[in-house]
Structure formats: C-alpha cells, structure tokens
C-alpha cells in the first residue's frame, strides 16, 4: 500500500489507489478527478477505475459534498439573481407514468414561486420529461442558458434540458457509469443529480425519491438512504432541500407513453387528474410553496394549489410556458393535436374481482416494446404509443371490463404489449393490502 502521508501528487494512479485502499480523498484530489473527466486529461480507463473504487469503497459525506461541488463547477453555474422571489425546483428519481413535473411547474408558478427546471430524457423503463414535452408540436427544450434565464424572469418558469455548459463532467461520468456497472452508488447518484440542480440557479429543491418495482430503488429503506444523502449534500451546497418518499409499485396515473402523459397532465390542470397523481402533485407542490415563502403550512399551500386549478390560472400558465418555448398553444385546449397512434385496442378482464396488482415494471416494459422508451440512449421514441386508461389497485372489475387501452403503430408490437400487460395486471377475489402512496418525508 502507498504511504499517502508522503505523497501530495495528484496523479490519477495515486488517487485511484488511495480510494482502492479505502482512503478518504481530499477536495483537491476529487477536483483533479472531475477536471480530468471534463478536459480529457484522465483516460476513460482511469476514470472508470476510480468510479469502481468509489462504488466498492464508498465516500464520506464530506467527500460526496466535495464531489458534487466539483461536478457543479465543472461548467457554468447559472445566475438567476435578477429573478425576483425564492426559486424552487423539483426532481424525481424516476418512475413509470411519472409526468408530475409537467402540471406541477405551472401550478407552483401560478401561486407565485419561480420554477427553473432542467429535466432529462428517458432511458430504459423510465420516461423523460423532455421527451414528453417535445410531443407538443414546436416545443423547444434546447434553450440556451441566456434564453432560459430570460424566460424564467419573464414567465416564471422554463422547462429545458441540460445544456453543454451545465455540469459537463456529469455527462462523461454518467456514460462511463452506465457501461461499468457503477450506476447504483449513492455518492455518485448524489453528485449526478445535485450537480445539475445546483448549477441551474435555484435557491431550494424538493425531491421525489421513489421506491418499488418500477423505481430505481426497490425498497423504502434504500430510498430513505438515498433521500437522506441528497438532502444532506444539497444543504452542504447552501440550498434548502426536502425529500418525499413515494411508492412506485404501480404506474402513477392512468397513462404511460409520451403524448398520452402530456394529455393526462393537461387533464390535471383542468381538475380532472387521477387521484394518485394529484396526491403526489399536491404533496410536492405544498413543499415547494412553503420553501418559496408563499405558504405557511401544508394546508394553506394545498388550498393555493387547488385554487389555481379551479380558476384556470395554472392551465393558462402552462399555455404561456408552451408558447414561450415555441410550442403550439392550441394543444392546451385540443390535446388531440398531440401525436396519435394508428392502432388502439382494449385489453379486457377475463374474470370478475378486484385489481390486486398492476406491475409498474411490466407496464413500462410493455410501453418500451411499443416504442415509447429507449433501450439505448441513441434510440428514437415513438411519441404517440403507450397505454391509457390503466386500472388501479383496489378497483372492482367485471368480466369483460377494459383493463387498459393499448396505443400502437403496428400489430406485432400491439400483440406483444397485450401479452405483457395481461401478466402485469392481476385480478383477485379478495381486496389487496393497502399501502400508502406517500411513505414519508425528510425535512
């Protein structure tokens, strides 16, 4: 083993060996690693070696905070100091049917809190907010940082993707994590999520950390561990951060698929959203309003959120955001202008009973088979396909009742998806054990 007290060199092999041997990396050593990823001075095999060492040895809270800060500072940190108010964003760790950001952002802005939101694309079973928004004809998610800043100041919100200037080290390191089996590492997850969020110019952040079959974290305990780390690192970065733990054993809402989820989001803003989806929206929105200083408690915050739906101002704010980003505002009143699949076919129940299971992962894989997601980052999505009208756990079902509607553009994928969905939805004679959708909060 090397004597780390005798060496101050920031050579890659020394830093790799130090972490390999269980050492604690200094701020300077972590900075050298992140710079190496940004400017190419570290080879991919060296970056991968340190990622694996971190995966196996972990990081202290201080190391994780230093790593996140270095990742954030690998590019430009947006300055939104000219935007009045406390700027609050929301981030989800990803799930099936999770379109929360689309109705939530305009609701919160309509209540008086600016929402700068940088989102991602879908990969694998988890859908991406950008892919959904881009089903609106003309909607641009590739705004420059200058355009982003100007729109947040004028409209109160911008819904964009990560620019090349924001946390560029994350793009490089995430790609390597994906191919070296080092994705499932809490310090690396914290750095990836928070470096982008802290670089977007926010003052506060609310996290939706999901667990269950359709989530990245499979158990509540794992989700709580991740949430705790995210909250602590975010606060170390000088931001107010809160996290909510939500279950993801069944899809959120009744639609899975990009244009279908945008249509469901518009329904939410009209006061017609599914109960489970609205429960999560209100829970996250309440925390955002309290952090934004416009509500004293959850009761007041939820009343404000309900009011902006009832008076139509949240819907109008989404129209304003859509038009500002080049989208066709007519979609807000005419969701049928969104892409439509050529084939629509119902999956019907073969027996009477109560819905006991809607396996989120199986539903997601069915949507992926239809073309609604990406198996590889370079894959193209089919914006109109997916599943709508999904039954929910606990609902009574009659024989011949519709369990869901499949939206497809070819018969083969429709048949394949039907088989997968049939196995995903289980109907039984006895009611299932009820589990709460919102499992806890870290403040």
What pTM did the predictor assign? 0.92
The Cα 421–Cα 230 span in angstroms is: 34
239 is catalytic: no
Q: Are strands 425-428 and 386-388 parallel, antiparallel or unpaired?
A: unpaired
242 is catalytic: no
Nearest to 151 by CA among 313, 327, 324, 322: 324
The Cα 9–Cα 26 span in angstroms is: 12
Tokens 């739906």 correspond to 309
196 is catalytic: yes
Which tens digit of pLDDT belongs to each residue from 66-115? Answer: 999 999 999 999 999 999 999 999 999 989 999 999 999 999 999 999 99
From the list 19, 177, 254, 304, the catalytic residue is 177
From the list 170, 249, 276, 382, the catalytic residue is 170
From the list 92, 119, 192, 388, the catalytic residue is 192
The pLDDT of residue 128 is 86
In 88-205, where does DSSP find H-type helix? Answer: 101-110, 129-133, 145-155, 168-179, 186-199
The pLDDT of residue 164 is 86
Per-residue pLDDT tens listing for the chain (443 residues): 444 443 456 899 999 999 999 999 999 999 999 999 999 999 999 999 999 999 999 999 999 999 999 999 999 999 999 999 999 999 999 899 999 999 999 999 999 999 999 888 765 555 689 999 999 999 999 999 999 999 999 999 999 998 888 999 998 998 899 889 998 899 999 999 999 999 999 999 999 999 999 998 999 999 999 999 999 999 998 999 999 999 999 999 999 999 999 999 999 999 999 999 999 999 999 999 999 999 999 999 999 999 999 999 999 999 999 999 999 999 999 999 999 999 999 999 999 999 999 999 999 999 999 999 877 767 789 999 999 999 999 999 999 999 999 999 999 999 999 999 999 999 999 888 888 999 999 97
The pLDDT of residue 126 is 59
The Cα 117–Cα 119 span in angstroms is: 6
171 is catalytic: no
Tokens 């509607």 correspond to 405
Q: What are phi and psi of 348, to 5 degrees?
A: -110, 155
From the list 18, 99, 196, 317, the catalytic residue is 196
The pLDDT of residue 372 is 92
154 is catalytic: no
The pLDDT of residue 208 is 97
Give the DSSP letter of residue 173. Answer: H
The pLDDT of residue 216 is 85
In 371-431, where does DSSP find H-type helix? Answer: 411-424
The Cα 188–Cα 170 span in angstroms is: 10
In the β-sheet with 386-388, what is the strand arrangement from edge to edge? 343-348, 402-408, 386-388
If DSSP states are collapsed to H, E and C, what string results for the chain?
CCCCCCCCCCCHHHHHHHHHCCCCCCHHHHHHHHHHHHHCCCCHHHHHHHHHHHHHHCCCHHHHHHHHHHHHCCCCCCCCCCCCCCCEEEEECCCCCCCCHHHHHHHHHHCCCCEEEEECCCEECECCHHHHHCCCCCCCCCCCHHHHHHHHHHHCEEEEECCCCCCHHHHHHHHHHHHCCCCCCHHHHHHHHHHHHHHCCCCEEEEEEEECCCCCECCHHHHHHHHHHHHHHHHHCCCEEEEEEEECCCCCCCCECHHHHHHHHHHHHCCCCCHHHHHHHHHHHHHHHHHCCCCCCHHHHHHHHHHHHHCCHHHHHHHHHHHHCCCCHHHHCCHHHCCCCCEEEEEECCCCEEEEEECHHHHHHHHHHHCCCECCCCCCCCCCCEEECCCCCCCEECCCCEEEEEEECCHHHHHHHHHHHHHHEEEECCCCCCCCCEEEEEC
The pLDDT of residue 422 is 96
From the list 18, 91, 121, 317, the catalytic residue is 91
For the record, the structure tokens of 237 come out as 């970065």
The pLDDT of residue 182 is 92
Q: Which domains does the chain have, with CATH numbers?
A: 12-58 (1.20.970.10), 88-335 (3.40.1030.10), 340-428 (3.90.1170.30)
The DSSP element (H or E) to which 57 belongs, if any, is helix 44-57
The Cα 94–Cα 174 span in angstroms is: 16
């Amino acid at each position: 083993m090397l004597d780390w007290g005798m060496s101050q060199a920031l050579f890659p092999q020394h830093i790799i060996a130090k972490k390999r041997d269980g050492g604690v990396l200094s701020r300077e050593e972590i900075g050298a690693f992140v710079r190496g990823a940004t400017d190419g001075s570290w080879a991919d095999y060296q970056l991968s070696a340190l990622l694996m060492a971190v995966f196996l040895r972990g990081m202290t809270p201080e190391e994780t905070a230093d790593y996140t800060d270095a990742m954030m500072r690998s590019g430009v940190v947006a300055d939104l100091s000219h935007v009045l108010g406390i700027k609050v964003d929301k981030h989800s760790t990803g799930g099936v049917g999770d379109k929360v950001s689309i109705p939530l952002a305009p609701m919160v802005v309509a209540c008086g809190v600016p929402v700068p939101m940088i989102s991602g694309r879908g990969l694998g079973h988890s859908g991406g907010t950008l892919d959904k928004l881009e089903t609106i004809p003309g909607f641009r998610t590739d705004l420059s940082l200058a355009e982003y800043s100007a729109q947040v100041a004028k409209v109160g919100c911008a819904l964009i993707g990560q620019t090349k200037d924001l946390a560029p080290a994350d793009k490089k390191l995430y790609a390597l994590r994906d191919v070296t089996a080092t994705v499932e590492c809490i310090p690396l997850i914290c750095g990836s999520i928070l470096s982008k969020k802290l670089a977007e110019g926010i003052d506060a952040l609310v996290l939706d950390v999901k667990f269950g079959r359709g989530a990245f974290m499979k158990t509540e305990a794992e989700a709580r561990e991740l949430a705790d780390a995210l909250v602590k690192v975010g606060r170390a970065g000088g931001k107010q951060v809160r996290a909510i733990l939500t279950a993801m054993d069944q899809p959120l809402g009744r639609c899975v698929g990009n244009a279908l989820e945008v249509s469901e989001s518009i329904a939410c803003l009209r006061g017609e959203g599914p109960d489970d989806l609205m429960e999560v929206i209100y829970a996250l929105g309440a925390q955002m309003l309290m952090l934004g200083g416009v509500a004293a408690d959850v009761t007041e915050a939820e009343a404000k959120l309900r009011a902006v739906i009832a008076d139509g101002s949240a819907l109008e704010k989404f129209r304003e955001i859509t038009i500002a980003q080049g989208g066709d505002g007519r979609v807000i009143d005419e969701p049928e202008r969104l892409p439509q699949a050529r084939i629509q076919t119902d999956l019907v129940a073969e027996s009477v009973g109560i819905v006991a299971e809607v396996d989120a992962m199986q539903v997601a894989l069915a949507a992926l088979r239809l073309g609604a997601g990406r198996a590889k980052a370079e894959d193209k999505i089919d914006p109109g396909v997916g599943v709508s009208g999904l039954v929910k756990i606990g609902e009574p079902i009659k024989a011949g009742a519709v369990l869901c509607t499949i939206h497809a553009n070819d018969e083969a994928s429709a048949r394949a998806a039907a088989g997968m969905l049939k196995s995903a939805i289980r109907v039984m004679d006895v009611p299932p054990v009820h589990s709460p959708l919102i499992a806890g909060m870290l403040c």
